[in-house]
Amino acid sequence: MSVISPANSQTLLQKDDTMRYRPMGKTGLSVSALSFGCMRLSEDQELNTNLIAQAIDYGINYFETTRHYIKGTCQHKTAPGLHGHTDKIIVSGKEGMGPDKTAYSFRKEIERQLDILGLSHFKFFQVGWFSWAKIPHLLKRGGVLDAIRRAKDEGLIQYIGFTGHDKPENFIKCIETGLFDSITVPYNLINRSYEPVIARAGELGIGVVAMCPVAGGVLSCESDKLKEALQMDVPTTEMALKFVLSNPNVSTACSGMNTFEQLEQNVETVKNFDPAGSTEFETMCEGLDRLRRELGDKFCTACKYCMPCPQGVNIPKHLAAYRKWKVFGLDEHTKQVLAKIPDENSYEVCDECGACIEKCPNDLDIPSMLKELGQLVNS
């Protein structure tokens, strides 16, 4: 039996022949390196139930839920698969908050989510869609923190986390308040913006749930550039999961799964992943940094000063795809993105008038970049 190292200092410990585990910060809980995001469960309830039951059999012990996913049905879809196993797993619930959220309404929501899931308590409850600007509303008298403290005292919640999309520097301030046991943020090969937050969480002993480890499916497209940068000759999806788990401060990679194929692939990757025998995390980061540097400072920052284009081209959308293509070599993904842009907003309607070039603060030769995208599509 082996186990993943503590989230803030050691490597993954393997507990049995299917799953590896890591400490969830300082909580004392051991969390499976692969966790299950329940936001993508399907319309097929029998499949959902069997999938979750199988995930538990594979040793996955962290399930991320909220009543608000899948048009309010996420926890209803999740509950049958958890039935009979809830004592040995960690199910997290989540509720958002704003200026009008009271302790009473937050408490009612905790009870409602417990009821749907058939749980006596949440081992983790997340303050969802959180940001530094919401701290005053969290702390105010009769506010959400009052509800959380009371729910903890009564045993309805054990640990508290938050999730959201605020600026990294703001999330660092949030975790430094000492109010939270975990943080849940997007993190993957092509989006490392929260890496400093994850590093700080590691220092503070705060658990880290990495969302979107395969970037919502983007990393299911193969990329030779990424293989070269990470010095790994494995499918991109596998590489993506290994990258996230190589960060010693990540407690668990939370993947939104809805098929047995995804589940089995991910479990296989985690089972066979030996961080000691893989490319070092620092080497992977250096490789990714190198890819970014190759593009230099000539990239679109999505300021939209170039818009509107007189011909209707959605310039920022094209240039976001252009950047991913050039940096990460995601050719197929780029083609898929371009195919979804309506004809009237496509690169194809550009007449090379040059109006956008004059407005772009980054001095980008936009018509030429659009042309390159056209060449990719026709290649």
The residues binding ligand SF4 (CB under 6 A) are 300-306, 309-311, 313, 315-316, 319, 350-356, 359-360, 362, 364, 366-367
**Which CB, 209 or 306, lies closer to ligand SF4?**
306
Report how far apart, in Å, the C-alpha atoms of 202 and of each of 132, 196, 197 are.
19, 10, 9
**Which CB, 241 or 356, lies closer to ligand SF4?**
356
Asked whether 171 and 132 are in contact (CB, 8 A), the reply is yes
Q: Is 294 helix (H, G, I), strand (E, B) or coil?
A: helix
CA 320 to chain centre: 19
Least distance between ligand SF4 and beta carbon 100 (Å): 35
Q: Is 295 helix (H, G, I), strand (E, B) or coil?
A: helix
Q: Is 333 helix (H, G, I), strand (E, B) or coil?
A: helix
- Of 41, 19, 40, the residue nearest 31 (C-alpha): 19
Least distance between ligand SF4 and beta carbon 201 (Å): 32
**Which CB, 291 or 313, lies closer to ligand SF4?**
313
In eight-state DSSP terms, residue 185 is: E
Angle between helices 45-57 and 260-272 (to 10 degrees): 10
**Which CB, 115 or 352, lies closer to ligand SF4?**
352
Least distance between ligand SF4 and beta carbon 164 (Å): 25
CA distance 376 to 52: 40
- Of 268, 243, 267, the residue nearest 328 (C-alpha): 243
Q: Match 């009371």 to its residue by tokens.
A: 150
Amino acid at 324: K
CA distance 27 to 22: 11
Surface-to-core class of residue 371, CB atoms within 10 Å of its CB (0-12 exposed, 13-18 middle, 19+ buried):
middle
**Which CB, 222 or 348, lies closer to ligand SF4?**
348
**Which CB, 53 or 349, lies closer to ligand SF4?**
349
CA distance 210 to 249: 10
**Which CB, 209 or 338, lies closer to ligand SF4?**
338
Least distance between ligand SF4 and beta carbon 290 (Å): 23
**Helix residue spans in 142-280 (DSSP H):** 144-153, 168-176, 195-204, 224-230, 236-246, 260-272
Asked whether 349 and 313 are in contact (CB, 8 A), the reply is yes
For residue 95, what is the enclosing H or E element? strand 90-96
Least distance between ligand SF4 and beta carbon 343 (Å): 14
Least distance between ligand SF4 and beta carbon 306 (Å): 3
Q: Is 195 helix (H, G, I), strand (E, B) or coil?
A: helix
**Which CB, 282 or 297, lies closer to ligand SF4?**
297
**Which CB, 275 or 367, lies closer to ligand SF4?**
367
Least distance between ligand SF4 and beta carbon 346 (Å): 10
**Which CB, 167 or 304, lies closer to ligand SF4?**
304
Amino acid at 78: T
Least distance between ligand SF4 and beta carbon 194 (Å): 23
Least distance between ligand SF4 and beta carbon 28 (Å): 47
CA distance 69 to 176: 29
Least distance between ligand SF4 and beta carbon 309 (Å): 3
